[in-house]
Structure 1
Amino acid sequence: MAVSFHVCSDSFPSRLHPQAGHVVEKLACLRSSEEASTSSSSSICQILDNIQELHESLEKLIRLPVT
Structure 2
Amino acid sequence: MHSAEHALTGWYKSSYSGANQGECLEVARGHATVPVRDSKTPHGPVLVLSTDGWTTFVAAVKDGILGA
Q: Do they superpose with TM above 0.5?
A: no
TM-score between the two structures when normalised by the length of structure 1: 0.32
TM value normalised by structure 2: 0.31
Structure with higher strand content? 2
Larger Rg over CA atoms:
1
Instruction: Specify which structure has the higher proportion of helix.
Output: 1
